Structure 1
Amino acid sequence: MAIELVPLPLPASADASKFAQFGREVKGVNPGSLSESEFEQVKEALYKHDALLFRNAELTPEQQYALTKAFDPASESYGHGNNKTEGTKKSILHPDLKTIPRVPQVQLIGNGTVYNHEGLAEAMLKHPSHTTFHKTRVSPEEEANGFTRFYRWHIDAALYDLSPPKVTTLYGITIPKGEPQTVRYDDGTGDELPVPLGTTAFVSGKTMFDILPSELKSLAVRSKVKYAPHPYVWMAPARALSTGLGIESDGHELPFEELPPWEESRRKTLPVVWKNPVTGDLHFQVHPCGIAELLVDPLPEGAKRDGALYPDGAHLTDLKEVRDILYKMQRPAIAPKLIYPHDWHEKDLVLFHNRGVLHTVVGAFTKDQVRAFHQCNLAASDDPVGPTPEDVKKWA
């Protein structure tokens, strides 16, 4: 049977015109045993559509690792360093991940206690919730009535030393049933989004770039972001905005001198927009929680200066200023109509282009709601490629 690509079912909240190319269900193949030809078709489809869904997939941890590695054969270690999470329990990632012993590149994530699972006698899992990460929270009474928030919009990446993974694979094993929830943005806009319980929400980095006004497109193609060293340790004492799109600038981040040992040469400086290797499209790909500095190139020769931001270039180190600029650029793309909230079923396998989308955990579970997923992403063998000189001239 030939590979068949079917558009993903969109919720009523989504603007279908913005999802014409985003997301496909893949039918007709077994993702755990793809032939070389089938894999090449899947790889091209992932870069064209950014998220692929396989229903009723049978997938061992070994097969999931092999599938993930096939996108970048030179990659090897888990995207955050084989779950060392930077060697410290101070990292905000530490409670969220349990390593599959025989396949350390695959992580067990979810909620509740899982027994006798792939070599783990007992694993206590905790679904990350906005209640411990945001500066403010939905009250317990409102939460009981189904209101919740996005947890943290992000790219899967260590953001220090290791290069951002090209693809993440998520495999749903145990999916608790429950009532839908309503995400509140609580940012004064009144925005809300109905979501399935425990959804993973995705936004397109391409759409994030495409909808920017011209002056912000110009800024995006001329800019690079410099991330903090050991960013998940650095940000741990801080608290996030109510939209989950970055950190409040209250000065609670750990001083650099209090972080685990780090080297300036290992800090990551990455383009604000990353070029799709198949389509050539530009994707706005910034992890808003880990940013520390913004470096802006001058306008190219011949570009119009009227209305241009930082026409002569800039190096911005004021954390609030950097965050405010990037929030202004990213917030429009998390509007309810631009979000795909996946409705998980058991044995769903989702592959997403980690260099083309942002995503977030959503919602909350009770302690007795058991949820188990296998997640795999691998630190890439190279850094993302930014805009070409032609792209800069076109958009700047």
Structure 2
Amino acid sequence: MAVDLSPLPKTTESQVDFGAELSGLNIEDLSDSDFIILRKCLYENQVVVIKDQKNLTPRAQYELTRRFDPSAGLYSHGKSIDKRSVLHADLTTIPNQPQVQVIGSGQVAEYEGLSNLNLKHPHHKAFHKKPIPPAEDADFTHFYRWHIDSAMYNLDPPLVTSLLAVQVPSDRRQTLRYDDETDTTLDVPLGTTAFFSGYRLYELLTEEEKHFVRTSKVEYAPHPYIWMSKAKSRSNGLGIISEGLELSENELPPFEESKIKTYPMAWKNPITNKLAMMVYPTCVRKIHLENGDVLDDLAEIRERLYGLQRRAIEPQLVYAHDWKEGDLVLFNNHGLMHSIVGSFKEDEVRLFRQCNMAASRPPLGPGDNLPEAE
């Protein structure tokens, strides 16, 4: 069977310039030559959808995901997640494949060695300053949190994340409200995963903004998901509202200065060499400028980043995947940002598997070259 590549379905209003559906590959037994095709497709399209993979085993999903970074192997957030972390309730590890997590919503009696699962889809009411009123929750929703899959402390962001839809609720749609300084809305499938392109964002910047992004670096907070655990997000999921609720350093678990992550604002695609603005706004603590100055006023930093990134989440630039059972989605975690979306009713069961591993290298900056091994 020949390998076939086609664009993802989009609305007539969409200006999304990434994403492809790939068929003709045997994912369970992928040859080296076919993997070369898949890798090139991923880095040129950023999101790759492979249909009808419901029977893919956790082991095969892990092996496929790791193939993009053979030196990786540890789950992206490490061996355990502190109970104070905002991520603690969202993830359940598959016992015999700890790099693969079960995520979703609802009651599942048994799955892959796990029993009596009570899956909890992250709901924006736990994280947003102004959530949708409960009476409107079935029909309306928010982007939960625009993010990069990463611990952002000690471990580097995974190169690639894979998501497999095992069970998807019956078709239902919601209206996503931005509830920011605009009246913007977006019609989305229930429980969609939304993406925007860091490459498109970089292209939308002015020349002055591009210079700032190319030459500046972002320092992330130690144990950022604990640090932010009391803070609240903007209604469009793009960063935190500054209210002084972040934990002080002496309230955090012990940390090492050498494990605090500082990354370029612009990350380079290893195949196309295009630059993406990739900044995880909820975890940011400082900005290091080209001249050596360090910006450390958190409120000012957040406003500056918001002014740069907000343009990327306009509805016509967001790809909201309409999940079907068996969809395997691979995405470039060094070039796209994504968000969980949606609120489920008690009888709506959503069962997904997620796999990503802390990278064997940090993101490529504008002046970096790809390691020969890759």
Cα offsets for 1:88-134 (capped at 9, x unmatched): 20000000000000000000000011122000022111000111110
Q: Partner amino acid for 1:215?
A: E
Equivalent residue number for residue 310 of structure 1: none
In structure 1, what is the Cα distance between the partners aligned to 2:190 and 2:170? 8
In structure 1, what is the Cα distance between the partners aligned to 2:229 and 2:285? 14
In structure 2, what is the Cα distance between the partners aligned to 1:12 and 1:118? 40
TM-score, length of structure 1 as denominator length: 0.91
Contact residue 50 and residue 357 of structure 1 kept, 8 A: yes
Asked if 1:323 corresponds to 2:316, the answer is no
**1:265-304 alignment to 2 at 5 Å?**
265-298=258-291
The one of 78, 82, 88 aligned to 1:81: 78
Equivalent residue number for residue 47 of structure 1: 43
Q: Partner amino acid for 1:141?
A: A
Asked if 1:334 corresponds to 2:313, the answer is yes
Q: Partner amino acid for 1:26?
A: L
The one of 156, 163, 167 aligned to 1:170: 163
In structure 1, what is the Cα distance between the partners aligned to 2:52 and 2:97? 22
Q: How many residues align?
A: 368
Cα offsets for 1:318-355 (capped at 9, x unmatched): 10111111111110000001000000000000000000
Cα offsets for 1:366-385 (capped at 9, x unmatched): 12211100000000001011
Equivalent residue number for residue 3 of structure 1: 3
Asked if 1:194 corresponds to 2:191, the answer is no
TM-score, length of structure 2 as denominator length: 0.96
**1:100-119 alignment to 2 at 5 Å?**
100-119=94-113
Compared with structure 1, are the counterparts of its residues 69 and 389 closer, same or farther at alpha carbon in structure 2 (3 Å cutoff)? Answer: closer
The one of 28, 45, 56 aligned to 1:32: 28
What is the deviation of 1:230? 0.3
The one of 55, 58, 62 aligned to 1:61: 58
Partner secondary structure for residue 366 of structure 2: coil
Q: Give the unaligned 5+ runs of structure 2.
A: 370-374
In structure 2, what is the Cα distance between the partners aligned to 1:95 and 1:28? 37
In structure 1, what is the Cα distance between the partners aligned to 2:130 and 2:345? 20
Equivalent residue number for residue 115 of structure 2: 121
What is the deviation of 1:189? 1.2
In structure 1, what is the Cα distance between the partners aligned to 2:26 and 2:174? 32
Equivalent residue number for residue 304 of structure 1: none
Equivalent residue number for residue 372 of structure 2: none
Could you tell which deviates more after superposition, 29-38 or 336-345?
A: 29-38
In structure 2, what is the Cα distance between the partners aligned to 1:314 and 1:4? 50
Compared with structure 1, are the counterparts of its residues 349 and 158 closer, same or farther at alpha carbon in structure 2 (3 Å cutoff)? Answer: same
What is the deviation of 1:238? 0.5
4+ residue runs of structure 1 moved beyond 6 angstroms? none
In structure 2, what is the Cα distance between the partners aligned to 1:218 and 1:81? 34
Contact residue 47 and residue 277 of structure 1 kept, 8 A: yes
Asked if 1:151 corresponds to 2:144, the answer is yes
In structure 1, what is the Cα distance between the partners aligned to 2:286 and 2:189? 36
Q: Partner amino acid for 1:77?
A: L
Compared with structure 1, are the counterparts of its residues 124 and 3 closer, same or farther at alpha carbon in structure 2 (3 Å cutoff)? Answer: same
What is the deviation of 1:62? 0.2
In structure 1, what is the Cα distance between the partners aligned to 2:320 and 2:298? 31
In structure 2, what is the Cα distance between the partners aligned to 1:153 and 1:171? 20
In structure 2, what is the Cα distance between the partners aligned to 1:202 and 1:384? 19
What is the deviation of 1:143? 1.9
Equivalent residue number for residue 126 of structure 2: 132
What is the deviation of 1:389? 8.6
Q: Partner amino acid for 1:112?
A: G
Q: Partner amino acid for 1:133?
A: F
What is the deviation of 1:241? 0.5
Partner secondary structure for residue 69 of structure 1: helix
Contact residue 11 and residue 340 of structure 1 kept, 8 A: no
Equivalent residue number for residue 197 of structure 2: 204
Q: Partner amino acid for 1:246?
A: G
Equivalent residue number for residue 306 of structure 1: none
Compared with structure 1, are the counterparts of its residues 48 and 389 closer, same or farther at alpha carbon in structure 2 (3 Å cutoff)? Answer: closer
Partner secondary structure for residue 67 of structure 1: helix
Cα offsets for 1:118-168 (capped at 9, x unmatched): 000221110001111100111112223x11100000000000000110000
Contact residue 13 and residue 193 of structure 1 kept, 8 A: no
In structure 1, what is the Cα distance between the partners aligned to 2:366 and 2:293? 18
